[in-house]
């Protein structure tokens, strides 16, 4: 990626007030071309407000929200943008193939090209036998597959996906993740709004965690993990584990398992050497780990919010 090119999405000093309530407070982040970016946060933290302001649906109180260095313009940017809102909205009383062909034409595709693409996609997501059925006769999950197909038609430059796999079983979730990855490999930048932390761990290069309209964490996935809890050591052993308060804290322990938290500036390898010289301790596993994004999410937003 060239440093001379502006980010695909640039949000600087964004502020959003509704009446006397400030929903977003001086928010800044960017999304580079060709990356998958996680936009995370609890319900009501300001994610949807930010996306709507980026797409020109809200006028920001302050700051700038740009796509390719410019404010969103449906005529110029719309065809190169795929947006999957959390509240799905298609013409439900029309046949599936007619709906998809219509939206393909809106995105600049020729009618026969849009129809062929749609039929190939429906076959891919196991809906080829539903192409002539009205959309409202499909299940919610099937409708969601159609909506995603409309979103990724014409290989958009920017995909904004709001809870794209919500309500899917593991098999269909994996299928949709594969489709998103394929779009990214074709060059699309992707903003994923999701509560599924395993999806973020698998797909995203960087992420931002929003809380009360402010960035609680922002950076690469590894940076976020380093800044929230750092490293921990999973130890399996035989014998007796003795405390070493100058080197580590024992967070959890039973007769053969322990989770150790290194003291600041203590190298885990130093801890391994200290444990190795204990004559009454035999180490069977010494695994250095970082906290999962799921654990970080819970630590920021709380267990009750995580599973709301």
The DSSP code sequence of 12-50 is EEEEEEETTEEEEEEEEEEE-TT-EEEEEE-TTSSHHHH
Relative orientation angle of helices 140-152 and 111-124, to the nearest 10 degrees:
130
Taking the whole predicted model, whether its pTM rises above 0.85 is answered as: no
Number of domains, the chain: 2
Shared domain for 276 and 196, answered yes or no, is: no
In a domain? residue 307: no
**In this structure, are residues 64 and 15 in contact, taking their beta carbons and an 8 Å threshold?**
no
Q: Cα(219)–Cα(109) distance, rounded to whole angstroms?
A: 37
Measured in whole angstroms, how far is the alpha carbon of residue 32 from the centre of its chain? 14
Please name the residue ranges forming H helices in the chain: 47-54, 74-77, 96-106, 111-124, 140-152, 170-185, 197-203, 221-227, 268-276, 293-301, 303-306
In a domain? residue 305: no
Shared domain for 65 and 172, answered yes or no, is: yes
Residue count of the chain: 308
Q: What is the pLDDT at residue 131?
A: 95
Shared domain for 182 and 131, answered yes or no, is: yes
pLDDT in tens, the chain (308 residues): 434 578 999 999 999 999 889 999 999 999 999 999 999 988 888 899 999 999 999 999 999 999 999 999 877 666 689 998 877 667 778 999 999 999 999 888 999 999 999 999 999 999 999 999 999 999 888 888 999 999 999 889 999 998 888 778 888 888 988 999 999 999 999 999 987 888 898 899 999 999 988 999 999 998 898 887 678 899 999 999 988 889 998 988 999 999 998 888 888 999 999 898 887 899 999 999 888 888 888 888 875 454 44
Shared domain for 169 and 212, answered yes or no, is: yes
Among 10, 13, 37, 9, which Cα is nearest to 24's? 13
Phi and psi at 135, nearest 5°, equal -60, -40
Q: Cα(266)–Cα(218) distance, rounded to whole angstroms?
A: 25
Q: What is the pLDDT at residue 88?
A: 66
* CATH, residue 216: 3.40.50.300
Instruction: State the residue range of the domain holding 273.
Output: 231-289
Shared domain for 245 and 108, answered yes or no, is: no
**In this structure, are residues 187 and 270 in contact, taking their beta carbons and an 8 Å threshold?**
no
Q: What is the pLDDT at residue 303?
A: 54
Shared domain for 131 and 213, answered yes or no, is: yes
Shared domain for 133 and 173, answered yes or no, is: yes
Shared domain for 220 and 236, answered yes or no, is: no
Q: What is the pLDDT at residue 306?
A: 45
Shared domain for 246 and 220, answered yes or no, is: no
In a domain? residue 308: no
Shared domain for 195 and 267, answered yes or no, is: no
């Amino acid at each position: 990626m060239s440093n001379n090119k502006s980010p695909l999405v640039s949000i600087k000093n964004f502020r959003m007030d509704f009446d006397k309530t400030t929903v977003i407070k001086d928010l800044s982040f960017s999304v580079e071309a060709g990356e998958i970016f996680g936009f995370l946060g609890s319900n009501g933290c300001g994610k949807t407000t930010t996306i709507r302001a980026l797409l020109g649906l809200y006028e920001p109180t302050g700051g700038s929200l740009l796509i390719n260095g410019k404010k969103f313009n449906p005529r110029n940017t719309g065809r190169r943008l795929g947006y999957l809102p959390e509240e799905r909205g298609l013409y439900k009383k029309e046949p599936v193939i007619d709906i998809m062909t219509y939206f393909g034409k809106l995105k600049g595709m020729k009618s026969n090209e849009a129809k062929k693409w749609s039929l190939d996609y429906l076959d891919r997501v196991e809906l080829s036998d539903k192409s002539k059925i009205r959309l409202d006769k499909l299940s919610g999950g099937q409708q969601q597959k159609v909506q995603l197909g409309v979103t990724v038609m014409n290989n958009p430059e920017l995909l904004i996906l709001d809870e794209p796999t919500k309500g899917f079983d593991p098999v269909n979730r994996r299928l949709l993740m594969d489709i998103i990855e394929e779009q990214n490999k074709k060059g699309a930048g992707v903003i994923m709004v999701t509560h599924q932390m395993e999806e973020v761990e698998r797909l995203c290069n960087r992420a931002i965690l929003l809380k009360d309209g402010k960035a609680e964490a922002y950076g690469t996935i590894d940076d976020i993990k380093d800044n929230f809890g750092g490293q921990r050591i999973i130890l399996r052993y035989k014998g007796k584990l003795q405390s070493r308060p100058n080197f580590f804290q024992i967070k959890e322990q039973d007769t053969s398992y322990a989770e150790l938290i290194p003291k600041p500036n203590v190298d885990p390898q130093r801890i391994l050497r200290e444990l190795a010289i204990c004559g009454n301790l035999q180490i069977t596993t010494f695994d250095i780990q970082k906290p999962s994004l799921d654990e970080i999410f819970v630590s920021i937003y709380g267990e009750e919010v995580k599973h709301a």
